[in-house]
Chain A
Amino acid sequence: MSKPCGGRFRVAPTCIAAAGVCAVAMPFFSLRPNRIVSGSPVFLAVAAPVAAAFLALLWVGFAVAASRPGRRGPIVACLLSLSVVAAVVVTAGGLGDRLVGSSAIARLGLGSGFWLTGTIAYVAYVVAAREAGLGPLFGAAGAAALVVLAVGFFAFGRLDRLSVVREWSVQRSVFAAEAGRHASLAGWAVLSGGVLGGAIGAASTRLKALRSTAFFLLNVVQTIPSLALFGFMILPLAALAERFPVVREWGIGGIGPAPALIALTLYAMLPIARNTCTALEGVPRAVLDAGRGMGMGKAELFLRVELPLAAPVAFAGVRIAVVQTVGNVAVAALIGAGGFGVFIFQGLGQFAMDMVLLGTLPVIAMALAADALLGALIFVSTPKPLRVVESRGGSRDQV
């Protein structure tokens, strides 16, 4: 059935692959004698020509596979983009051993080529997965595979010479503690934001007055930069702790996790409240009328009809809130709430970019992982007819 057509290569995958090849040519790593000195660039084509050629080949393969009609090509392209990341991890391990050797403080910094390749590989994966019409389950599986690979390499000490890992091995115990703080702060903020935002969203479908006021205030909160909002919390909470010593005993003060939690909750409320409200109002009137007319009471109508119909959209709001909160927690380190932000700001202060990375990378990883996990959870728990089917990539680029 297949007939030769003009558009052999499609524009989007080809551009992505070209960018990927270019990234290979950029300084991939930097060899640094210690944590402060910026070091000398390492070009993959020089230091590891085989790896460079292999990466370029993977990208060409991606362009070809993703341009193929049907589903199989894009699925292969998905796997190829994952392989790019895997190849980069493997290369980093090998080069670290070879270039750094046994020096105790020398390290392999990550260069622009590395970052670009990672980013482009992610974009390539998303584009190919959408083209193949793969659901969020596949996205979560891909993310999990990469995590397993990276953690495996890391656990076997293959990545020990990377600057970030060096930094981590120094900060090991602090890192674990801050990771816990980051996760729990984000978790509690989304939980309380979810309860409050969900309640406000549900109530504002019934009370028009509450609706305009609540959404006005939440929108205003959302426009305040996170740093400023954390700052706003300091004065009133400090005054409160001053006035009532009991409050201080609970660990609440102008700085620390309490003001951070309040501010993060306020941020998390808007997307959840807005989506809950939209979702409940999107329940068709005919369906509500039928339910009421058949003899459902208010509670039954809400539990059996409104809630299940609204849940997917409402939980999409939770998903947005989670990603947003995980990022915002990083800023909360400035008011002493802890979390990965501690490394970011310490690193900035010491001009140690590796330490900044030690804070930044896990934030990104946590946000992406939470997003993929929630996406998959929402997909699995949504009844078939309510699933939002992602569009099967755009139209073919035909000449």
Chain B
Amino acid sequence: MIRFEGVSRKFGEVLAVDGLDLEVFDRELCVLVGPSGSGKSTVLRMVNRLVEPSEGLVFVDGREVGSLKVETLRLGIGYVIQGVGLFPHLTVAANVAVVPELLGWPKGRIARRVGDMLELVGLDPGRYGRRFPFELSGGEAQRVGVARALASDPPILLMDEPFSAVDPVNRLRLQTEFLAIQRTLRKTVVFVTHDVDEAIRLADRVAVLKSGRLIQYDVPETLLERPNSPFIADFVGADRALKRLSRFTVRDWMQPTAGTTDAAIAVDLDASLRDALSTMLGSRARTIRVHDRDHRPAGEIGLQDIERAAECGTR
């Protein structure tokens, strides 16, 4: 659990973070979102002391971070940054092995762990382990970044705009995959982004910041239904009903009656209801087919299913 108590940070005359009180709950994915200059990265970097607060205290698991040896603190926290920051002179496997090596794990255990981690993020260890970062696509590099951060199985994960340098299609894929990983591993994650859609899609709880101040901290549904200020309403946008739909997956709302619809249009099992609706509108169909990853039919979903989801408050 991570807790900020009256934390402020000044850079020269600029107040980047202003009196922040925030609690990130255990095993939750907390997204810090806000326009650029809102101080969200600074907040994240104060958790692992890459930035020290000018005022106030930061606690990790009830211990004030300033009281811990900085390397010890950081070794217990996974860290993923924008542009990945993979070590260009090390292979993918060596990159993933960095923290276990710093922790002094035996060689065999490191090798096994590296293989497991690469598989977890969907990269074949045999094919990718010996490659160098320059031989990876943006999405692959980002996956390695996640594998590296998870390698020592830290309870906490800090992710600073991890997917923002990837093209939209790959970003969506990475988000979906990361959500699946997070559902099984249940880490305490602090995730910084400037993309509201990404925040809504991933978060258990969203903290919206503006000029260093926390404006609203709530679960995405509340944020979308009851924005506490015109700023939030404006920030989440007029399409917030649609944004809510992005939190539901087709899998949870479809009718598993395979093969009854002969519509040619199909949507993926793991797609969001927002994407399903968009597909329907685009094809002028009220019902479309659902297929799984391998393009086998899995059922169908109709406009009424989406309406049902939109009326329902919870996932």
Distance from B192 Cβ to chain A, minimum over Cβ atoms (Å) = 13
| B interface with A by C-beta (< 8 Å) | 45, 48, 50, 71-77, 79, 81-90, 98-99, 102, 132-135, 148-149, 158
Task: Determine whether the beta carbon of B133 is less than 8 Å from that of A293.
Answer: no
A384 within 8 A of B: yes
Task: Determine whether the beta carbon of A385 is less than 8 Å from that of B132.
Answer: yes
CA distance A384 to B76 in the complex (A): 31
Partner of B79, one of A284, A293, A300: A293
On chain A, the residues within 8 Å of B84 by CB distance are 286, 290
Task: Determine whether the beta carbon of A293 is less than 8 Å from that of B86.
Answer: no
Q: Given A295-B76, A385-B133, list of 19 further CB < 8 A pairs? A: A286-B83, A287-B86, A287-B88, A290-B85, A292-B74, A294-B74, A294-B75, A294-B79, A294-B148, A295-B77, A295-B99, A295-B102, A296-B71, A300-B102, A304-B98, A305-B87, A309-B89, A385-B89, A386-B88
Q: Pick from A287, A295, A297, A308 the residue with the most CB of B within 10 Å.
A: A295
On chain A, the residues within 8 Å of B87 by CB distance are 287, 290-291, 304-305, 309
One digit per residue, 1 when the CB lies within 8 angstroms of any chain B CB and 0 when it does not, for chain A 139-160 equals: 0000000000000000000000
CA distance A304 to B45 in the complex (A): 22
CA distance A383 to B131 in the complex (A): 12
A397 within 8 A of B: no
Q: Assuming A286-B83, A289-B85, A386-B89, is B134 touching A295 (CB within 8 A)?
A: no
Q: Pick from A292, A308, A383, A386 the residue with the most CB of B within 10 Å.
A: A292
CA distance A286 to B84 in the complex (A): 7
On chain B, the residues within 8 Å of A300 by CB distance are 102
Task: Determine whether the beta carbon of A290 is less than 8 Å from that of B79.
Answer: yes
Closest to A308 in B: B89
Partner of A309, one of B71, B77, B88: B88
On chain A, the residues within 8 Å of B133 by CB distance are 385
Task: Determine whether the beta carbon of A290 is less than 8 Å from that of B86.
Answer: yes
In the A-B complex, the 6 residue pairs with the smallest Cβ-Cβ separation, listed nearest first, are A290-B85, A295-B74, A295-B75, A293-B79, A286-B85, A385-B132
On chain A, the residues within 8 Å of B85 by CB distance are 284, 286-287, 289-291
CA distance A386 to B158 in the complex (A): 29
CA distance A383 to B102 in the complex (A): 21
Closest to A300 in B: B102
CA distance A383 to B90 in the complex (A): 8
| A interface with B by C-beta (< 8 Å) | 284, 286-287, 289-297, 300, 304-305, 308-309, 383-386
On chain A, the residues within 8 Å of B134 by CB distance are 385
Closest to B101 in A: A304
Task: Determine whether the beta carbon of A293 is less than 8 Å from that of B48.
Answer: yes
Distance from B182 Cβ to chain A, minimum over Cβ atoms (Å) = 20
Task: Determine whether the beta carbon of B89 is less than 8 Å from that of A292.
Answer: no
Task: Determine whether the beta carbon of A293 is less than 8 Å from that of B102.
Answer: no
Task: Determine whether the beta carbon of B81 is less than 8 Å from that of A290.
Answer: yes
Task: Determine whether the beta carbon of B132 is less than 8 Å from that of A384.
Answer: yes
Closest to A288 in B: B85
On chain B, the residues within 8 Å of A304 by CB distance are 87, 98
Q: List 15 A-B contacts (CB under 8 A).
A: A287-B85, A287-B86, A289-B50, A289-B81, A290-B81, A290-B85, A292-B74, A293-B158, A294-B148, A296-B98, A383-B89, A384-B132, A385-B89, A385-B134, A386-B88
CA distance A287 to B88 in the complex (A): 8
Distance from B239 Cβ to chain A, minimum over Cβ atoms (Å) = 33
CA distance A297 to B83 in the complex (A): 22
Task: Determine whether the beta carbon of B102 is less than 8 Å from that of A294.
Answer: yes
Closest to A305 in B: B87
On chain A, the residues within 8 Å of B79 by CB distance are 290, 293-294
CA distance A204 to B89 in the complex (A): 24
Distance from A63 Cβ to chain B, minimum over Cβ atoms (Å) = 37
Distance from B314 Cβ to chain A, minimum over Cβ atoms (Å) = 36
Q: Pick from A293, A308, A309, A383 the residue with the most CB of B within 10 Å.
A: A293
CA distance A290 to B74 in the complex (A): 11
Q: Assuming A384-B132, A385-B134, is B48 touching A297 (CB within 8 A)?
A: no
Q: Assuming A309-B88, A385-B134, is B50 touching A293 (CB within 8 A)?
A: yes
CA distance A216 to B75 in the complex (A): 41
CA distance A305 to B134 in the complex (A): 16
On chain B, the residues within 8 Å of A294 by CB distance are 74-75, 79, 98-99, 102, 148-149
Task: Determine whether the beta carbon of B88 is less than 8 Å from that of A295.
Answer: no
Distance from A291 Cβ to chain B, minimum over Cβ atoms (Å) = 7
On chain B, the residues within 8 Å of A309 by CB distance are 87-89
Partner of A292, one of B50, B88, B90, B135: B50
CA distance A284 to B81 in the complex (A): 13
On chain A, the residues within 8 Å of B98 by CB distance are 291, 294, 296, 304
On chain A, the residues within 8 Å of B83 by CB distance are 286
On chain B, the residues within 8 Å of A286 by CB distance are 81-85
Closest to A285 in B: B85
Distance from A340 Cβ to chain B, minimum over Cβ atoms (Å) = 39
Distance from A280 Cβ to chain B, minimum over Cβ atoms (Å) = 14
Q: Pick from B87, B148, B158 the residue with the most CB of A within 10 Å.
A: B87
On chain A, the residues within 8 Å of B72 by CB distance are 295
CA distance A155 to B132 in the complex (A): 48
Distance from A300 Cβ to chain B, minimum over Cβ atoms (Å) = 7
Distance from B6 Cβ to chain A, minimum over Cβ atoms (Å) = 24
